[in-house]
Structure 1
């Protein structure tokens, strides 16, 4: 089976859904952010603050290209689609599932989150960032699931029914 790549904005539930989806399919699960931290020996916030977003995006691309293209569910970082090279790679190498989440829902989910560098950067217009990324998410997605007001189990059932 082709690997499944979950994409979507921060707070869309990619990691949580990936774990449950992998369990349902009885295959392994990976998270690109976790792989970046393991490979670099630094946390994502450390990479952003010390090396900048460009350095993080380079690491993200390298890690993406090392992920297995079969029998794995991979939760990606929200900005993985920023690079055209990543979008091309995703389209060619996996089944891409966009967890589409509204701005209002994202705000509710992330209200107390302090671990996301872009979310906590007050100079970043997060709504504009979401608006800019949506077309890129849709460009690469094979399946789109609206996540607002749904629990992970419901989302996984919708993904499985569309596969």
Structure 2
């Protein structure tokens, strides 16, 4: 069975929904940010600080590209759409689901963005990051799910239904 790959902005609910979705579908669950942290023996924010933006993205690309699994819900980091090798692999081996939320919702959910290890370029704001990433998420997605005003259960059901209809 193909993997289900969840993409979207930080705080869109990829990891939380991914765990629930995996249980409902009888799939395994993998959080690629945790795989990166395990491989590098460091938190995401520390990897970004030590290796810089390009260094982190190279690691993220390598880790995600090298994932060998099937029948797995994969929650990716928000910057995965900058990792071309990984995204091409995911397009071939999985169903990519973009959890779409409004900017205001993302902003309200994020809290301390620096603690989360979000990939920012110098001088970039959350709004400019959002505007840059959203078209890329849409470009790669097989399925786009509007998650606005849905609780976890409703979002999971909407994703599961869209996958089954595919």
TM exceeds 0.5? yes
Q: 8 Å contact 2:45–2:118 — kept in the other structure? A: no
**Counterpart of 1:20?**
20
Question: 1:145 corresponds to which residue?
Answer: 145
Give the 3-state SS of the residue equivalent to 2:29 in structure 1.
strand
Contact 2:32 2:77 in 1 (8 A): yes
Aligned residues: 163
Distance 1:122 1:7 in 2: 23
What is the TM-score normalised by the length of structure 2?
Answer: 0.90
Check if 1:158 corresponds to 2:158.
yes
Name structure 1 gaps, 5 residues minimum: none
State the shift of 1:102 in Å: 0.7
Shift of 1:8: 0.2
Cα RMSD after superposing both structures = 1.8
Residue in 1 aligned with 2:65? 65
Task: Provide the rounded CA distance (Å) in 2 between the counterparts of 1:58 and 1:112.
Answer: 24
TM-score by length of 1: 0.92
Superposition deviation, residue 84 in structure 1: 2.7
Give, in whole Å, the separation in 2 of the partners of 1:12 and 1:162.
18
Q: Kindly state the Cα deviation for residue 119 of structure 1 after the two structures are TM-superposed.
A: 7.4
Deviation at 1:133, TM superposition (A): 1.0
Query: What are the ranges of 5 or more consecutive residues in structure 2 without an aligned counterpart?
Result: none
CA distance in structure 1 between the aligned counterparts of 2:113 and 2:19, rounded to whole angstroms: 20
